[in-house]
Amino acid sequence: MSVKRSMLDVLKGEAVFPPPLWMMRQAGRYLPEYRQTRRKAGSFLDLCYNPDLAVEVTLQPIERFGFDASILFSDILVVPHALGRDVRFEEGRGPLLTPIGASEIATLDGGAFHVNLEPVYETVRRLRAQLPNETTLIGFCGAPWTVATYMIAGHGTPDQAPARLFAYREPAAFEALLKTLADHSAAYLIRQIEAGADVVQIFDSWSGVLDEDCFERFCVKPVAEIVRQVREVYPHVPIIGFPKGACTQYTTYRARTGVTGLGLDWTVPLGMAQALQKAGAVQGNLDPLRLVAGGAALADGVTAILEALGNGPLVFNLGHGITPETPVEHVEAMVKMVRSATR
């Protein structure tokens, strides 16, 4: 008997109401049970690479809220880490890497790439075995541009000036870096699907800092290459693209990259989202701070999205990841609002 997973129906273009619901970063610091497991793990990367604990934290929001989808607990920077770059996470500072130089790009070592990432694949296998049958399992990677920004700067920056400048000054080396990341990210997603992921999402969190030409070369082309490689092996697995901050570039992003669904950030106007929805599923796009605020701000935001997008293929989500200060009771309220919605 085939299993019905509502998020997969939406990604095929069907309108499901109330829509399926999950949150980016749904396994995270806003949950007391996550904080407890995180302390037990030691470092953040230890948590990512320990299948017992990674499964535990991935399942926590499913058990608490009954979301329609579960996203693998990991981080976009496991890809450069698996390529031999040092990656560490410091409390209050986020990810830190040794900045990569132009001459080092050719020496990135993919020889042990899948060996290094085997704990992640094991986590996916266990999740698919332990999740409720109706829950969609999402795998993911970072888009090459966004991952490259961290590799070049060595940390997050407000406008990714180090990576932009590197791309202008060292165009050949930068293109080689994007190609290496695209090839390995595609292989990474293929292995996640092989292990049991139903859907994969490509996070391009920093696509909004680029001009039109660079957006095409650094965001669209590498993601299109990932999609092409994944589709060669798994032609029917849905792929969600999330080019945060892409603004009007959203209008042609699906056609140019080949992604199935579009993840929308909270700045995308709902009228524009309706137009994008005519070409296929959209996902989003509640401002995460409405969830922090709760009350009327939350209710108004949820209602507006459901009224504007509820008649088409919609996966209800935030417009970016949930923030650590979000009260759990506000998440409970949002889930109740979406689940009880009527047309």
Domain ranges of the chain: 6-339
**What is d(CA 332, CA 340) in angstroms, rounded to the nearest whole number?**
12
Distance in angstroms between the alpha carbons of the first and the last residue of the chain: 31
75 SS3 class: coil
Residue by residue, DSSP assigns 158-227 as: SS-HHHHHHHHH-HHHHHHHHHHHHHHHHHHHHHHHHHT-SEEEEEETTGGGS-HHHIIIIIIHHHHHHH
Task: Identify whether the C-beta of residue 338 lies closer than 8 Å to the C-beta of residue 306.
Answer: yes
Name the residue with tokens 């609002």: 337
> Which pair of structure tokens corresponds to residue 74?
């990991």
Task: Identify whether the C-beta of residue 142 lies closer than 8 Å to the C-beta of residue 178.
Answer: no
pLDDT of residue 274: 98
pLDDT in tens for each of the 343 residues of the chain?
468 899 999 999 999 999 999 999 999 999 999 999 999 998 999 999 999 999 999 999 999 999 999 999 999 999 999 999 999 998 878 899 999 999 999 999 999 999 999 999 999 999 999 999 999 999 999 999 999 999 999 999 999 999 999 999 999 999 999 999 999 999 999 999 999 999 999 999 999 999 999 999 999 999 999 999 999 999 999 999 999 999 999 999 999 999 999 999 999 999 999 999 999 999 999 999 999 999 999 999 999 999 999 999 999 999 999 999 999 999 999 999 999 999 8
**What is d(CA 255, CA 234) in angstroms, rounded to the nearest whole number?**
19
Contact residues for 151 (Cβ-Cβ < 8 A; gap 6+) = 80, 85, 97, 99, 100, 177
Sign of CA dihedral 20, 25, 27, 32: negative
Backbone angles phi and psi of 203, in degrees to 5: -95, 115
Bridge partners of 89, per DSSP, are: 95
Task: Identify whether the C-beta of residue 70 lies closer than 8 Å to the C-beta of residue 135.
Answer: yes
Which residues does the annotation mark as catalytic?
25, 29, 38, 75, 150
pLDDT of residue 3: 81
Amino acid code (one letter) for 231: R
pLDDT of residue 343: 83
Neighbours of 239 (CB within 10 A): 22
Q: Describe the crossing of helices 295-309 and 270-277 by its angle, rounded to 10 degrees.
A: 30
SS3 annotation, 94-163 = EEEECCCCHHHHHHCCCCCHHHHCHHHHHHHHHHHHHCCCCCEEEEEEECHHHHHHHHHHCCCCCCCHHH
H-helix or E-strand spanning residue 163: helix 161-169
Greatest alpha-carbon span in the chain: 58
Dihedral angle, C-alpha 214, 317, 313, 69, nearest 10 °:
110
**What is d(CA 205, CA 325) in angstroms, rounded to the nearest whole number?**
20
> Cα 37 vs. chain centroid, distance in angstroms?
22
CATH of domain 6-339: 3.20.20.210
